[in-house]
Structure 1
Amino acid sequence: MIEKDFWYKNAVLYTLDVETFQDSNNDGVGDFRGLISRIDYLATLGINCIWLLPFYPSPNHDNGYDITDYYSVDSRLGNLGDFASFIQAANERGIRVIVDLVINHTSNQHPWFLEARKDKNSPYREYYTWSKEEPKNPEYEPAFKGEDDSIWEYDEVAKEYFLHRFYNHQPDLNLANPMVRKEIHQIMGFWLALGVSGFRVDAAHILVENDDPKDQGEFHDLIEDMREFITSHSRDAILLAEASGPPEVVGKFFKGKERMHMMFNFLLNQHTFHALAIEEAEPIRKGISILPKKDMSSAWLNFLRHHDELNLEDLEKKEQQAVFDKFAPSKDMLIFGRGIKRRLAPMLNGDQRRLELAYSLLFSSPGTPVIQYGAEIGMGDDISLPGRNSVRTAMQWSPERNGGFSEAAPSKLTRPVISQGDYSYKRLNVIQQQCQPGSLLNWMERLIRLRRQCPEVGNGELEVLKVKHKAVLACAYKMVFELVVVHNLGSEECEVELPLLREDNESLIEIFSDSTYDTPKKGEMKLKPYGYRWFRIRKKELRDETVKKKKKTK
């Protein structure tokens, strides 16, 4: 049985940017009314949680992550009434909503910063970190290498340098200031009151790094403070950390019950792409083995691609290069010296066999899956667009004008729709795939339904099974039933032996696969190129043990 408070462990998340999803008034910008008009599509897709990218007022120099007001909606996207209507529409369909909490920095146009730079005696001055002289050897490097040379920027009005770990138009908040922490509580309380089910905490690994040159220790008490607040103001809202780094760093976010509920699984993500690049299972086994321990209330959020670059900085140089060579053969596909700015479908050459394999791996990885808008139809990218915008083009709904996203002139679109090549909206869109029984969209709907019926993946005890084939990954999750998932990452058909399928089982049912296969005999089974097979096993001893536990409970 799954605790209701742990709803996130058996969820399927879908992330989208309101301004690129659906335009309702034909001004070229997606909006909340447009999103509401597509809510039934999301409900029938089967997802039960939406993660919204920033929708707050912003100059939009950093895709909305440069915020000028934490308590409102960008006027291009609608207003707070539209947001409330969206929350209601989602909840009526059993869909929760989590939003971005961007508290590492503000825009330099935020009223707090405007007040801080002009008045040294203002309480807002201490909302940011200042220095009369630029530190010669700063402890940290810019988050986006190549975009800025320093994390300090001179302000002509304040006559001092301010700290910015990201772009120079995004001054960092002084998170050691109790008043700033109080503001964070007020922001969280505001959106919780409007019905959100939690927050994706942006750049969490940077939030806990102390910016004081005299004290470089970390202060995870900030996260613990946020956890205490959200627990006392909501029965089941969550904190989701965007935190990358080696195991010893990210593991700190799962320390006990006082920190994060969920965390992006960057470690497994990077090793999964290494495995897909070399078509061998060992990198995934390695990625699973190095994951930090967590308690039963915590969960990993697994992903393949989302709105940022594919970050590979935690892989060894040789492993990184293998991924670059396979999936980013030209320099214009790389970004920040550490990642790839492409969507998954083009990386896999649009091969549906390999896409299905990749998503089957994602949905059977230990934790909760999230997919990016358009992933369900295999949307492409536009490498000619600057930075991360290459993977943030407008949603492709139909072969109509602008892919059904907007009736506005193409020049007025907030982001262009892909109109040329194999990934053009004229060839690849929702309407087209809904009419094709074998389409990626219809397959994805089945996968999402299946995952929601398999609580073992989010809650069960994982065992990586030994297999004598370098391309095959086999995992078992143990609960009342035992779920066994087998993948062939290679381009050749193979046959493997799994002792687990040879044991005395009460029942063995194949619940999902890429093809029609014979039932395994004596543990021997076949897999086609890039094949996958999901089995549910009910063992007599597991059933008997469950019956005993129920009797003791009574």
Structure 2
Amino acid sequence: MRNSIGLTFTCLIFFVINCFSQQSSNNNKASRAAWWKEAVVYQLYPRSFKDSDGDGVGDLKGIISKLDYLKSLGVDAVWLNPIFSSPNDDNGYDISDYRNIMKEFGTMKDFDELLAGLHKRKIKLILDMVLNHSSDEHEWFKQAKSSRTNPYRNYYHWWPEEKGKPTPRYSFFDVNNDAWKYDATTKSYYLHYFSQKQPDLNWENEKLRNEVYDMMKFWLDKGIDGLRMDAFQYASKDTTWKKYPEGYEKEIIKYYGMGPNLHQYLKEMNKTVISKYNVMTVAEGAGSTLEDAHALVDEDRHELNMAYHFEIMDIGNDPRGYKLTDLKKAFTRWDYSFADKGWLAIFLSNHDVPRMVSKYGNDSLQFRSYSSKLLTTLIMTMRGTPFYFNGDELGMSNIKFNNIDDYRDIATINAYKSIKAKGEDVQTFMDKQKFISRDNTRTPFQWDASPNAGFTTGKPWININPNYKTVNVVTEEKNPSSELSYFKKIVALRKSMPVLVYGDYKVFDIENPDIYCYTRTDGKDKVLVLLNFSTKAFTYTIDKQINTTAAKLLINNYNGVTALTNNKISLKPWQSVVFKINQP
């Protein structure tokens, strides 16, 4: 009885939200358009994309050599993970010079050539701004730790030893998860939410903020088109350093995110820098609630303009699988909340999570290709700006390392050390890393079937997935049924149909454990999307609210005809279909 009441209540809530969304949609269409809403963003991991000099590390010249490939995809913007000078403790997310290029990646001349080459092909460039922390090898920090009276001391957070042990703070990457590192030179502790080599910047310091704003202008004046604000929800700290309740790290964003002065800093940043340029600004993380996300990106807030939230990323982290209903409800909750205000990034993979086909799809030989295309269909038919990770257009999957020595990610390596030191089950940990480790998405891009997948002539910085001999660009470009060919088709479809960008989203049959059914509607334009998230074949009955008479098939991840008859459709395992629906 309780389950029945819960189900009825859930359905009622979604019915009410659907009705509200229908009534309030399509207001002021003329003002809603923006290039960054209509763009398809391709996330490119420079270290793993293409190596030009044989040192085993991807670089800017390597990217330049593949600009025509990027153009062939039909994408509108490229987001580069950090390319700034860095000792690479965390693969570039520890920056030692914000105004220079990492030596492994090339020179500023190479960057200028890359930017010009992208713009020549009408592709915009988004840079990662890592502003919560710097490297401990940044000149600011070198100066700051030289003495307590150094002018740069207040660029970071310090706790003098005479005050006793600091109030405990959790570190994501530290072996002991201790965010305070002792510095013997000044007999003080410094704060690092991430690794010991990533000290947190003190945003309470106006001089630090102005230095950051000047640096941002430096890159924007070069002509870049957007900024992704990495981990910025953590930038503002409660510097009273009050004690948090035991177990707070299990709800870390609640305690670390959206600090007391965050919005003040973002408004200042917007006024000083962002408002001067026509750029995309992406809020990574976006807090822990819908309200947090709106506070960051709603237009009248004058802060950032796109929310890159993690709720969907938190689904599917269990190797045993996930519930499709959880995924559908998360997509639906966020879409309905942002239907008329604010804007969302839509994604299923990035450099911090596993390959999407291994996490949300089925990476078996039988279903990898179909499920990869299905997930691509989901990303490209949802409202919001699609962010698509390099290699997913090929159906690249998790590498699943057996040995800790194969890993390069500090998060996995330090977690392994911690598990081992505590005497916990190492094998269970390693089995989970095969599924969840960030290194799964960081293996080199698979260009062809030659040695090292055409990525490098040297020894790659991280091992290459053995499936590169069949999963690669050259092979898939020759195959009209490949994942790559499908990606190009659906990108072209999205760009040809504004309904897929701006149209209302409405979900149907939300409690169905296998089928994801939704429509996108913009005036007289209507599209129906059907996704079978299972290895089973179904005859699926479509809701009678949807008029499927004379429906036109737009794209199908299987070859052959898929027809709708009397509002019924036969769906094969991991099949995705998109139809154009006639409106009265």
**How does the TM-score come out when normalised to structure 2?**
0.78
Could you say which residue in structure 1 is the equivalent of 2:370?
A: 353
Q: Does 1:223 align with 2:240?
A: no
CA spacing shift, 1:302–1:70, aligned 2, 3 Å: same
Q: Does 1:417 align with 2:464?
A: yes
Q: 2:222 and 2:135 mapped to 1: Cα distance?
A: 24
49-58 or 14-23: which moved more?
14-23
Secondary structure, aligned partner of 1:369: strand
Q: CA deviation at 1:90?
A: 0.5
Q: CA deviation at 1:101?
A: 0.3
What does the per-residue CA deviation read over 1:310-358, in whole Å, with 9 as the maximum and x for residues that have no partner?
59xxxxxxxxxxx9xx96xxxxxxxxxxxxxx79774897622222222
Q: 2:129 and 2:329 mapped to 1: Cα distance?
A: 33
**Equivalent of 1:379 in 396, 412, 415:** 396
Secondary structure, aligned partner of 1:478: strand
- Equivalent residue runs for 1:131-150 within 5 Å: 131-133=159-161, 136=165, 138=167, 140-144=169-173, 147-150=175-178
Q: CA deviation at 1:54?
A: 0.7
**How does the TM-score come out when normalised to structure 1?**
0.82
Q: CA deviation at 1:177?
A: 0.8
Could you say which residue in structure 2 is the equivalent of 1:338?
A: none
Q: Does 1:266 align with 2:310?
A: yes
Q: CA deviation at 1:294?
A: 3.7
Equivalent residue letter for 1:372: F
Q: Does 1:447 align with 2:497?
A: no
Q: 1:265 and 1:440 mapped to 2: Cα distance?
A: 26
**Which blocks of at least 5 consecutive residues in structure 1 are unaligned?**
312-322, 328-341, 541-554
What does the per-residue CA deviation read over 1:58-103, in whole Å, with 9 as the maximum and x for residues that have no partner?
1111101111100010122111111111111111111111011001
CA spacing shift, 1:269–1:453, aligned 2, 3 Å: farther
Equivalent residue letter for 1:514: N
- Equivalent residue runs for 1:121-520 within 5 Å: 121-133=149-161, 136=165, 138=167, 140-144=169-173, 147-213=175-241, 217-243=260-286, 245-255=288-298, 256-271=300-315, 277-278=321-322, 280-281=324-325, 283-289=327-333, 293-294=337-338, 296=340, 298-309=342-353, 346=363, 351-382=368-399, 383=401, 384-386=406-408, 387=412, 388-408=438-458, 410=459, 413-418=460-465, 420=466, 423=467, 425-466=468-509, 469-480=512-523, 481-490=525-534, 491-502=536-547, 508-515=551-558, 516-517=560-561, 519-520=563-564
Q: CA deviation at 1:407?
A: 1.6
108-117 or 254-263: which moved more?
254-263
CA spacing shift, 1:396–1:519, aligned 2, 3 Å: closer
Q: 1:209 and 1:498 mapped to 2: Cα distance?
A: 49
What does the per-residue CA deviation read over 1:259-301, in whole Å, with 9 as the maximum and x for residues that have no partner?
2211223223444778993564454134422568347563211
Could you say which residue in structure 1 is the equivalent of 2:38?
A: 10
Judge conservation of contact 1:403–1:426 (CA < 8 Å) in 2.
yes
Judge conservation of contact 1:348–1:354 (CA < 8 Å) in 2.
no
Q: CA deviation at 1:206?
A: 1.1
CA spacing shift, 1:390–1:487, aligned 2, 3 Å: closer
Q: 1:178 and 1:399 mapped to 2: Cα distance?
A: 53
Q: CA deviation at 1:512?
A: 1.4
Q: CA deviation at 1:522?
A: 4.2
How many equivalent residue pairs? 503
CA spacing shift, 1:222–1:294, aligned 2, 3 Å: farther
Equivalent residue letter for 1:447: I
Secondary structure, aligned partner of 2:463: coil
**Which blocks of at least 5 consecutive residues in structure 2 are unaligned?**
1-28, 244-258, 413-437
CA spacing shift, 1:439–1:154, aligned 2, 3 Å: same
**Equivalent of 2:86 in 49, 54, 58:** 58
Q: CA deviation at 1:442?
A: 1.1
CA spacing shift, 1:14–1:3, aligned 2, 3 Å: farther
Q: CA deviation at 1:139?
A: 6.2
Q: 2:365 and 2:291 mapped to 1: Cα distance?
A: 32
Equivalent residue letter for 1:464: V
